[in-house]
Structure 1
Amino acid sequence: MQNVLFSNAARLERAGLRVPAGFYSHDQAMTDLRQVPWRDPDLYWTWDRLLEQFARWSGDVVLTSEGFGAATAEQARRAVRSLQPAEVHVIVAARDLWRTLPSMWQQSIRARGTWRFEDFLASVQEGTFKGFWDHHTANRMFFRWGDLVPPAQRHIVTVPQPGAPRDLLWQRFAGIMGIPGGVCEVTDPGSNPSLGAPQIEVLRRVNAALGDRYPHRMPYQRVVQQHLIRPVLQEQANDVRFGVGLERAGWVAELAEQQIKELQDYPCHIAGDLAELRPGPMTDTMSPDELDDREVLDAAIETIIGLIGHSGDLSRQLAEIPVGVMTRLQNQAGRVRRGIVRRALG
């Protein structure tokens, strides 16, 4: 949904709906609102600065970042209060736990995590990882935000099961927003593909070996995300999928029924079908913890080959920059550095 929103921002604005700035402005504003310890203090966008963008527009505005789901009750209250007197709607996407659990663990590894998949699952099942339920499941985050607005302004969008039309999730969201058909170009959502079991295990081990280098968040994103995860690991075949495992199927199914019951009893608008929160066919899959060293080594070698190719691509791109352009860029960088030095001395 975010890909469609940001790639069609100009079209949406002509239709009366503004998606201000870009994805990273929303993301940075989220870290400011939540005051997370890994927020980069030098980032440009703050919560108040993004609100200034809203104030310049008389129509509807979209604010989107999955990180808002982890806001505390007080942070959510501050956000809704600061958006008033606008009519605030809360929209949360809900996906079944069978897919959410491996996805959330993978995202934690892609955010510099190092814990093993089985350790993650055990901590969720045993209740020692309370943050999972508060930050990554629809019910709790929805109630924290939804309680702050009237029932007619609370919306749950259920994520369709595999096999549904590729644009169905977008169509549900667009229906809530009143976005007419044909306004947006809806492309195949393939910009953030999942990693396979060997690739995510290589990344987990790299994260552990990094030590204090490239801390989360911006240093890691600028180097590891930009030069390892996106151009190399995501480009590999990723054929070996992983998941929860059939030994936990009953536990996941029981939790799904609890979620559905809670949402059925909560006054809100549902776009989709709460039955989609029941897991689809639950088949047994490999855990990344079960890979042998040969499989991990093969993936690591493939990763090194990918890094060599990525480095070659960057070198060719640099060589293609006209000499005059490079000289102007170097001169401009020198002027910026000299200005910084003068201000520091002054």
Structure 2
Amino acid sequence: MSRRVFLHVGAPKTGSTFVQNVLWDNRESLKRAGFLLPAGRKEQDDAMADLRQAPWRDPDGRCTWDQLVEPLHRWAGDVIITNEGLGGATAEQAARAVASLRPAEVHIIVVGRDLWRTLPSMWQESIRSRSLWSFEEFLRAIEEGRHDAFWNHTANRMLLRWGDLVPPERRHLITMPPPGSPELLLWERFAGVVGIPDGLCEIGEQSANPSLGAAEIELLRRVNRALGDRHPHRMPYRRVVQRHLINPVLKSSKNDLRFTIGMNRAKWISDLTEERIKELQEYPCHIVGDLGELRPADMTEGVSFDQITEKQMMDLAVETIIQLLGYADELHRQAELSRGDMLARIKKRVRRRLPIGRV
């Protein structure tokens, strides 16, 4: 049976892509050192959706939660399961997950981030997952208590649902370093919790999960609205819109208009932050970092969406079409090269099987 299992349950937009990239890029080195990442990245995502019985789970998903966990009982070292979607599990689903991992020593890892940066990022993530609402509608839903899905992915609630299932010394809250911190600090904090030795993992240039600019995310929101019932959430949308519009085109666009929460909500954010910090100060857990990092480092005004002009939107739409044409042409060129390479290999094999003197 596994010695320890580290469940990294979220939250989204807290550097999870960076941490996961390092882990998966160094999977074999970690395994040799006694740290197992079970199944694969996609399979862990499938298992998360199965555990949550999410209506948007992939019907072709290749891994259930039970299938993910079963081989762990034959592994004698440590295990790392990492998926930020786990943070949205109900108390019952979290309890089932933890129970399925025993008698291993289960640890819960949660990452917290300041609300000033989290709210715009979480709204943008919802748009990149097929949502239609404006940023103002998103904020108002949170203010009015109509958006539990957001709060369920915050450190405070994740610790109550997941952390309460294990002893205090196995609950780990990592605070996300503020802007300007050393780029590897988040990884160093995570590795320290798990016990990954310094230097074990090679960390090259990591592909991040960059935010889109104000105009780009508004264009995507309008595309989502125009899609209607086509490419529904979650997998059909990922396979088409994420793969062919967001990742290759919008992420490489200018993204020069940045947006933030308006200063009219600065006091609201500050008050909420102090409430969260007070709750966490009273909650028994292992804190890695500083709760003060949950306070916004720089509450400055950015672009609001009503400041984006229709000319800016039209210019971006035209540029996006141009980039899509280039992307489509590159795909066609790669397909032709692949087809030519395949035909050459077939001809070579045919020639090897023909009798001497035959062409």
Q: Is 2:274 the counterpart of 1:257?
A: yes
Counterparts in 2 of 1:318 and 1:274: CA distance versus 1, 3 Å:
same
**Gapped runs of 5+ residues in structure 2?**
1-18, 347-359
Following the alignment from structure 1 to structure 2, what is the Cα–Cα distance between the partners of residues 266 and 184? 32
Counterparts in 2 of 1:53 and 1:273: CA distance versus 1, 3 Å:
same
User: 1:272 maps to which residue?
Assistant: 289
Q: Is 2:155 the counterpart of 1:138?
A: yes
AA at the equivalent of 1:71? A
Q: Deviations over 1:31-82 (max 9, x none)?
A: 0000011112221111011112323321101011111000000000000001
Counterparts in 2 of 1:55 and 1:110: CA distance versus 1, 3 Å:
same
Following the alignment from structure 1 to structure 2, what is the Cα–Cα distance between the partners of residues 280 and 301? 36
User: 1:341 maps to which residue?
Assistant: none
> Alignment partner for residue 226 of structure 1, among 243, 246, 269?
243
Q: Say whether the 8 Å CA contact 1:117–1:289 is kept in structure 2.
A: no
Q: Is 2:167 the counterpart of 1:150?
A: yes
CA RMSD in angstroms comes to: 1.5
> Alignment partner for residue 122 of structure 1, among 90, 115, 140?
140
DSSP-derived class of the 1:93 partner: strand
Q: Is 2:69 the counterpart of 1:51?
A: yes
Following the alignment from structure 1 to structure 2, what is the Cα–Cα distance between the partners of residues 308 and 263? 50
AA at the equivalent of 1:160? P
User: 2:31 maps to which residue?
Assistant: 13
AA at the equivalent of 1:95? R
> Alignment partner for residue 199 of structure 2, among 182, 195, 199?
182
Out of 68-77 and 179-188, give the one that drifted further. 179-188
TM superposition shift of 1:93: 0.5
User: 2:56 maps to which residue?
Assistant: 38
Out of 270-279 and 300-309, give the one that drifted further. 300-309
Q: Deviations over 1:6-35 (max 9, x none)?
A: 111111111110112322111110000000
Runs of 4+ more than 3 Å apart: 187-190, 326-329
> Alignment partner for residue 119 of structure 2, among 101, 111, 117?
101
AA at the equivalent of 2:271? E
User: 2:331 maps to which residue?
Assistant: 314
> Alignment partner for residue 110 of structure 2, among 92, 96, 102?
92
Q: Say whether the 8 Å CA contact 1:117–1:287 is kept in structure 2.
A: no
TM superposition shift of 1:324: 6.2
DSSP-derived class of the 2:162 partner: helix
Q: Say whether the 8 Å CA contact 1:90–1:155 is kept in structure 2.
A: yes
> Alignment partner for residue 235 of structure 1, among 242, 252, 256?
252
DSSP-derived class of the 2:173 partner: strand
The alignment-based identity, stated in percent, is 59
> Alignment partner for residue 320 of structure 2, among 283, 303, 312?
303
Following the alignment from structure 2 to structure 1, what is the Cα–Cα distance between the partners of residues 225 and 128? 12
Out of 47-56 and 295-304, give the one that drifted further. 47-56
Following the alignment from structure 1 to structure 2, what is the Cα–Cα distance between the partners of residues 100 and 326? 51
Following the alignment from structure 2 to structure 1, what is the Cα–Cα distance between the partners of residues 205 and 118? 21
AA at the equivalent of 1:321? S
- TM-score, with length taken from structure 1: 0.92
TM superposition shift of 1:235: 0.7
User: 2:86 maps to which residue?
Assistant: 68
DSSP-derived class of the 2:338 partner: coil
DSSP-derived class of the 1:119 partner: helix
**Gapped runs of 5+ residues in structure 1?**
330-346
DSSP-derived class of the 2:82 partner: coil
TM superposition shift of 1:190: 3.7
User: 2:9 maps to which residue?
Assistant: none
AA at the equivalent of 1:317? Q
Q: What count of residue pairs does the alignment treat as equivalent? A: 328
AA at the equivalent of 2:335? L
- TM-score, with length taken from structure 2: 0.89
Q: Say whether the 8 Å CA contact 2:43–2:61 is kept in structure 1.
A: no
